[in-house]
Amino acid sequence: MTRVGVVTFPGTLDDRDAARAVRLAGCEPVALWHKDADLHEVDAVVLPGGFSYGDYLRCGAIAAVAPVMGSVVEAAGKGMPVLGICNGFQILCEAHLLEGALIRNDHQKFLCRDQKLRVENASTAWTASFAVGDEITVPLKNGEGCFQAAPDTIERLEGEGRVVFRYVDVNPNGSANDIAGITNAAGNVVGLMPHPEHAVEAGFGPLAVGAEGMQGHGGVEGLGIFTSLLRDMVS
């Protein structure tokens, strides 16, 4: 069975949610502690959301130099799939596994809402269950979710197809080019600001929106991000 490490830092909130998503996707979640450099022979790593180290300095800045991250950076360089969600995305940028930075939302407020995303790249380790153009709705909750980078970096990310997810209908935080998630050049490291782990079980995800308004009992559209890992491992 594919073993997926889920890292807990001081201030992490969504590690158990991420572990549940990993389990529902058919993988074995393995708890990893921020002080432990041993990845315990996992096949992939998830950096979940929260407020690591209280978001002191900058969001993710302290977590990026935690002992476990030295091993994550090394493993990612050798091709291990790594997913960063919300604060995990911030950590990946601070650790220079992904380009750009996440700054304060342009409206200066913490935001919590269901958010529609469009899949822009279906060839990464974390998007193999999707097709380009697919739209999914997952929860979004952040105060520092505004993705920014130098204009030439944005141009390169777009030109190389490294924008993985894009906000649809509304840009909730001012991110450049409506960018919600990106990948590294190799496609094994992905960071996204919204929370797919909160939309993996029927009855507990965002409600479907149809012609008659809110419908259903909650979607599971975020689960594909975690099941993608199994497809990537098989291929």
- When computed from its CA atoms, the radius of gyration of the chain, rounded to whole angstroms, is 16
Marked catalytic residue, from 27, 197, 198, 221: 197
Marked catalytic residue, from 27, 59, 86, 146: 86
Annotated catalytic residue 197 = yes
Residue 103 and residue 145: Cα distance in Å, rounded? 6
Select from 87, 157, 144, 85 the least CA-distant residue to 117.
85
Residue 28 and residue 87: Cα distance in Å, rounded? 22
Task: Report the DSSP pairing between strands 208-210 and 213-215.
Answer: antiparallel
* Helix axes of 223-234 and 15-24: crossing angle, nearest 10 degrees: 50
Contact 136, 206 (CB under 8 A): no
Work out the angle at residue 226's Cα, subtended by the Cα atoms of residues 221 and 227, and round it to the nearest 5 degrees.
85
Annotated catalytic residue 86 = yes
Residue 92 and residue 102: Cα distance in Å, rounded? 10
Active site residues: 86, 195, 197
